[in-house]
Structure 1
Amino acid sequence: MDHGGAAAMSEVFRQIGKPSPGGIVCAADHASNRVPEDIDLCIPERLLHEHIAVDIGTEAIAERLARSHAIPAHIAAVSRLVCDFNREEDAPGLVPETSDGHPIPGNIGADREARLNRFHRPYHTALAGWLDEAYPALVLSLHSFTPRLETSDAARPWQVGVLYNQDERAARIAVPILEAEGLCVGDNLPYSGRDLNYTMNRHAEAQGRPYLGIEIRQDLAANAQDHARWADLLADVAQRVASALG
């Protein structure tokens, strides 16, 4: 069942579905690999389809959550290489000059304030207003991670990660549910939400909103069948977490 089309959109974000008070909403900060025509990152086209440019699979999963599971989604519409929405305004990686060993020459000397004003601030202003109107019971933060970094020999065996900073309420409920599904679950892995959690720090933790930070391993989110499976699973897990938090 389709639960609604795009409620709002710009060059920075799309919103699909209409939130209802006490419901669940999804935010996908790295869902797009789009680079505006007036910005030249000076990188090979192939890199725009790699993990440094986009959280592979998250756009399709977020869309399925919105259209098939009544979990409205706020979805980034610009590549993280243009502006990383999940970074503080003063973070070096907000406009990355390198990513996983790849130089991003077009970002060297870029007008950082212009990127903030054009992309980062509108994204977060829109998300803040959307959440204020939604009064959600739970915010699902959706990301994905590469099975192996090019700058590291360490394998990442986790199939899904649950990330959090100080607010562990949803994580403590979700981890055993996901493990019961037979998944290898990273508890604040493959990286810690205490280090990289800007969007949820700002829009959830600072507002007292419960949130569930999910990282899906990208080789498990590669096609439509994978996207459907993850959307079904995450919708169920999120509903169970929200009910338990009640």
Structure 2
Amino acid sequence: MSDAFTLIPARESNILIIADHASAFVLSDIDLGMDPVLLNEHIAVDIGVAEVARQLCARTGCGAVLGGLSRLVIDLNREEDSPGLIPTESDGHPIPGNVDADRHARINRFYRPYHAAVTAALDAMTRPFILSLHSFTPSLSSRDEPRPWHIGILYNSDDRAARIAIPMLEAAGLNVGDQLPYSGTILNATMNRHAEARGIPYLGVEMRQDLVRDEAGQARFADYLAPVMEACRNALA
């Protein structure tokens, strides 16, 4: 057991789902100094991701490593030296409790165990394929920016799975953002480390949060993603 992650072991599968921002949990000994209501919002957690990941694991037998605490405590999808690793604001909301946070303590307590768990899960697989699962808010408080996409596909240098997934998702009737709502060439830390640096094929997915807030939407996106990740795995892993 670890506060840093939840592990779902794979059952006869070489697909691993990695979800950096799957939880809004904040331990009782960490005071962020902000309204706890905000822990239900997009700044604290990738809404819907944990539920979609669990459905995909149950349906396909794939495994998962799910981030176990809020991205406001430490952002697992950042490099260790990134200024945003322990955020002091998010989408216009200050996080005063992080201003003087012990950076090294949080890295050792949460960040390194999480990434060690990802490494161990991948090492236990033969020719693994990764589904990196995130979700994005349809609207930001800090800027006026239209976000009409139902789903985004992100990557850095390795776009092999993206080229398979995008036409499949479009054929399912989705408005697909290619490197939208932001680019994986800018923010792709976990996949740069565990996929691209190791030559492991992967698909980076961003689901729009208003579409995966409820059980029906989560089941619908599991329906969309299950055949896509299987097709990518079969072609690339």
Matches of 1:127 and 1:138 in 2, distance apart?
Answer: 12
Task: Name the amino acid aligned to 1:150.
Answer: S
Deviation string, structure 1 residues 185-243 (Cα, Å, up to 9, x no partner): 01011011111111110000000000000000000001011111111221111011222
Shift of 1:68: 2.3
Deviation at 1:26, TM superposition (A): 0.4
The secondary structure found in structure 2 opposite 1:92 is coil
In 2, distance between residues paired with 1:118 and 1:195? 26
Alignment of 1:111-150 (within 5 A): 111-150=102-141
- Per-residue CA shift, 1:135-194, capped at 9, x if unaligned? 344100000000011111111011100000001110111111111111110101101111
Give matches, 1:29-108, under 5 Å. 29-108=20-99
Q: Is the Cα–Cα contact under 8 Å of residues 138 and 148 in structure 2 kept in the other structure? A: yes
Structure 1 runs (4+) greater than 4 angstroms displaced: none
Question: CA contact under 8 A between 2:87 and 2:95: conserved in structure 1?
Answer: yes
- 1:185 and 1:174 mapped to 2: Cα distance? 10
CA contact (8 A) 2:155 2:185 kept: yes
Q: Which residue of 2 aligns with 1:219?
A: 210
Distance 1:132 1:121 in 2: 16
Residues 5 and 68 in structure 2, CA contact (< 8 A), matched pair in contact too: yes
Q: Say whether the 8 Å CA contact 2:12–2:61 is kept in structure 1.
A: no
Give the AA of the match of 1:11.
D
* More displaced stretch, 134-143 vs 169-178: 134-143
Task: Give the superposition deviation at 1:69.
Answer: 2.1
State the TM-score, normalizing by the size of structure 2.
Answer: 0.97
- Which amino acid is 1:24 matched to? I
Partner of 1:233: 224
Structure 2 CA distance, aligned partners of 1:40 and 1:136? 41
The residue that corresponds to 1:5 in the other structure is none
TM-score (norm 1): 0.93
- Residues 101-129 of structure 1 show CA distances to partners (whole Å, capped at 9, x for unaligned) of 00001001111011100010110011111
Report how many aligned residue pairs link the two structures. 237
Deviations 1:21-52 (A, max 9, x none): 6x211011000000011000011111000000
* Aligned with residue 203 of structure 1, among 188, 194, 199: 194
> Shift of residue 70 of structure 1?
1.1
Q: Which amino acid aligns with 1:12?
A: A
Give the SS at the match of 2:84: helix
User: In the alignment, what sits opposite 2:183?
Assistant: 192
Cα distance, 1:156–1:146 mapped onto 2, change above 3 Å: same
Gaps of 5+ in 1: 1-8
Counterpart residue number, 1:17: 9
1:162 equivalent to 2:153? Answer: yes
Aligned equivalents of 2:127, 2:140: Cα separation in 1: 35
Q: C-alpha separation between the residues in 2 aligned to 1:59 and 1:152?
A: 27
Matched AA of 1:55: D
Q: Is this contact kept in 2: 1:19–1:25, CA < 8 A?
A: no
Is 2:150–2:207's contact at 8 Å kept on the other side of the alignment? yes
Report sequence identity in percent: 56
